[in-house]
Amino acid sequence: MNTPRFVILGAQGAGKGTQAGRLARRLGIKHISTGDVLRAEIASGSRLGKQIGQIINRGRLVPSSMSNAMMKHRLSQPDCQPGWISDGYPRRVDQAQALARYGKPNLIIVLHLTDRAAIKRLSGRRVCPKGHVYHLRHDPPKKKRGYCDHDGLRLRQRDDDTPQAIRKRLHIYHHETEKVITWYKERVLVINVDAHPSISIVYRSLLKKMNHIAWLSSRLQKK
Ligand SMILES: [Zn+2]
């Protein structure tokens, strides 16, 4: 039987984390968010974690060699044996090439969102100091406006969610990650999903497309 090894790609704000989480629960596989792996590696105090922490503190991008080492280790853990969906990695072609050597993906999911929609979505995002995420329009706090439902802490906008910072990230996305999509199109099955509708509509169209893949449709039916 095939083990699901998925990569989900798409611009910031396309809902990669949300869709990956749903899919992972449905298929009983592990959702691997690179951001979480990075934070865990730093928190572990490992040699690699210390190096990565220093690089991030200086505002630099983590080099591919480090991301590759970190993800190779993470995806080899027992909780990834039933399968995994990677969200946030690979970002560059050299990373995709590395991943193909140690954990060749068998499906690539691309969520499509225009820059305009991405900016609109991300600039409405608010977070509490503990990391709970809200959206001014789509997912506002229910108890008190401007404060976290879970801990009552004040919400704020992350520095990288300002329109200027978002444009910069989208620029990087178009220049680097889109090359990854092109690279994959020649090598792995790619499914494309329009990410503009609501979360549940996007999820349904994703499932519908996955149902056309024989080995996956039997797995999706089981639950
Ligand atoms: Zn909170």
Rounded CA separation 77/36 (Å): 15
For residue 125, the CA-to-ligand 1 centroid distance in Å is: 13
- Is CATH 3.40.190.10 what the domain over 5-33+84-214 is classified as, yes or no? no
pLDDT at 143: 95
The whole-number mean pLDDT for each consecutive block of 10 residues of the chain, a chain of 223 residues, reads 92 92 96 92 92 88 92 96 96 96 96 94 91 88 96 92 88 92 96 95 97 90 67
For residue 80, the CA-to-ligand 1 centroid distance in Å is: 28
For residue 16, the CA-to-ligand 1 centroid distance in Å is: 21
pLDDT at 205: 97
Catalytic residues: 16, 91, 125, 158, 169
The terminus-to-terminus CA distance of the chain in angstroms comes to 17
pLDDT at 222: 66
For residue 147, the CA-to-ligand 1 centroid distance in Å is: 8
For residue 47, the CA-to-ligand 1 centroid distance in Å is: 30
Q: Where are the domains of the chain?
A: 5-33+84-214
For residue 62, report the phi and psi dihedrals to the nearest 5 degrees. -65, 125
Q: How far is Cα of residue 106 from the mean position of the Cα atoms in its chain?
A: 17
For residue 154, the CA-to-ligand 1 centroid distance in Å is: 8
Rounded to 5 degrees, what angle do the CA atoms 47, 75, 60 make? 45
Closest listed residue to residue 211, CA positions, set 199, 223, 220: 220
Rounded CA separation 112/36 (Å): 23
pLDDT at 19: 96
